[in-house]
Amino acid sequence: MPPRKIIHIDMDAFYASVEQRDNPALRGRPVAVGHGAKRGVVAAASYEARAFGVRSAMPSITAMRQCAELVFVPPRFEVYRAVSRQIRAIFERYTPLIEPLSLDEAYLDVTADLRRLQTAFATAKEIRACILKETGLTASAGISYNKFLAKLASSQRKPNGQFVITPEMGPDFIASLPVAKFHGVGPVTAAKMQRLGIQTGADLRAKSLVFLQQHFGKSAAWYLGIANGEDDRLVVADRPRKSSGSETTFERDLTASEEIEAGIEAMAADVWAWCENAKAFGRTVTVKVKFADFHQVTRSRSFSMAIARHDLLRQASVELVRTVLPTAKGIRLLGVTVSNFDQAPMNASDELPLFDAVEGVMPEPDATSGATPAGVG
């Protein structure tokens, strides 16, 4: 079989770029999308802000310490969603095989080459040009023969660039790559690999499946596969959703109750924006908490009627998280999910802006702990 042609498109500093596009006074300035209040969290940072070390999922207080002239802009999810739909419409000119990872990221399978552009590189270039022309925003692209490599490739020439990893280049590219950069290898696994003398893709490849199974169980085959540049996962065109959730892994563990509650409120706002847009209101809200030691708990509450107001969702979410507060253990991840919809979401293709671009199919037990909050990269 000839190699597949996969493109990973990733908008550059998406929310922040939209804000700078719509407000010229913000251009060239360090911008954080999020609430600058004492309990706020940065949802996205412009490149000017990143130069100061400001990152998404960082508490606003920390961000302000990093950068005194940081400008906070409240998020406008409805605008981001509208832009996301515009981008989606551009993708559809090139392929029906579109798998969104978040509002600003998607995999495209362009093996069929509907536009007869000959190479996926040319297709990616045209898509990025259309995005710029029609939205005024830049995107980066990674092009390769599987999803794993395409995603790695898209970060190589950021912002406003693209990079291809051919089947010939794949094995060498992975050989020199630190394992911590592998999608699906979280900090805990990376540290464990390092203790076993595995620093790079080449080190990983040199180990036997049996050895890796002893240390990593079921994930071993996946690790060995990607170390050899093999990833058979298909680009799955989006399917109807049964639940909708948002979660964030924080840069540093949260311990203060008010910070944790603020984090949950931000997740609830995110989920609410999706519910409103999709006109889908669920009866059950679930809060997920992952502690610094990776112990994880979920708390759920179901109502007799759909949660059809933002304040109800926020209140229920906060009450659920309070059942684990105060906590002496730090919290590394918070999530809110709504499920039990009265009717199927109308706009099933609208994905939530997951700040962690986490893929459900990863066999990795700490896949949700990716070192970089990627979704808004």
Q: Name which of 77 and 216 has its Cβ closer to Mg ion.
A: 77
Cα(185)–Cα(179) distance, rounded to whole angstroms? 7
Cα 215 from chain centroid?
28
Nearer Cβ to Mg ion, position 104 or 265? 104
94: left (phi over 0), alpha (psi -120 to 50) or beta: alpha
10 touches Mg ion by CB under 5 A? yes
Between 104 and 109, name the residue whose CB sits nearer to Mg ion.
104
Q: How far is the CB of 104 from Mg ion (least distance, A)?
A: 4
**Minimum CB distance to Mg ion, residue 246 (Å):** 16
The 8 Å CB, 24+ separation contacts for 116-123 are 119/5, 120/5, 120/6, 120/7, 120/164, 121/162, 121/164, 123/5, 123/7, 123/94
Distances (CA, A) of 188 to 192, 195, 256: 6, 11, 24
In the complex, the smallest distance separating the C-beta of residue 14 from Mg ion, rounded to whole angstroms, is 5
CA–CA separation, 272 vs 250, rounded Å? Answer: 21
The tokens describing 215, both together, are: 């240390």
Given the structure tokens 């508490």, which residue do they identify? 59
Min. distance of Cβ 377 from Mg ion in angstroms? 4
User: Which residues are registered as beta bridge partners of 244?
Assistant: 338
Among 19, 48, 104, 109, binds Mg ion (CB under 5 A): 104
Q: Which among 105, 265, 351, 359 is annotated as catalytic?
A: 105
Segment interacting with Mg ion (CB under 5 A) among 3-11, 179-187, 320-328, 344-352: 3-11
User: 């948002």: which residue's tokens?
Assistant: 246
Question: What is the crossing angle of helices 77-92 and 120-135, to 10°?
Answer: 140
Q: State which residue, 150 or 316, has the beta carbon closest to Mg ion.
A: 150
- Asked if 356 is part of the footprint of Mg ion (rule: CB under 5 A), the reply reads no
Q: Which stretch binds Mg ion (CB under 5 A): 97-105, 190-198, 230-238, 244-252?
A: 97-105
Considering only 9-17, 36-44, 50-58, 259-267, which stretch makes contact with Mg ion by CB under 5 A?
A: 9-17
Given a contact cutoff of 8 angstroms between Cβ atoms, the answer to whether 291 and 329 are in contact is yes
Please check whether residue 353 is in contact with residue 332, taking contact to mean a CB–CB distance below 8 angstroms.
no
- Stretch binding Mg ion (CB under 5 A), from 7-15, 20-28, 77-85, 331-339: 7-15
Q: Which is nearer to Mg ion, 11 or 235 (CB)?
A: 11
Rounded to 5°, the CA angle 279-79-361 comes to 65
Rule CB under 5 A: is residue 59 a binding residue for Mg ion?
Answer: no
Among 11, 31, 87, 267, binds Mg ion (CB under 5 A): 11
The minimum distance between CB 374 and Mg ion, in angstroms, equals 7
Restricted to residues 13-52, the positions that interact with Mg ion (CB under 5 A) are 14
Is residue 343 a contact partner of residue 280, using CB atoms and an 8 Å limit? Answer: yes
Total of residues contacting Mg ion (CB under 5 A): 5
Q: Does 105 qualify as catalytic in the annotation?
A: yes
Task: Check residue 377 for interaction with Mg ion (CB under 5 A).
Answer: yes
**Burial tier of 37 (Cβ tally within 10 Å: 0-12, 13-18, 19+):** exposed
Name the one range near Mg ion by CB under 5 A: 42-50, 101-109, 269-277, 326-334: 101-109
Which residues form the interface with Mg ion (CB under 5 A)? 10-11, 14, 104, 377
* Residues annotated catalytic, as ranges: 105
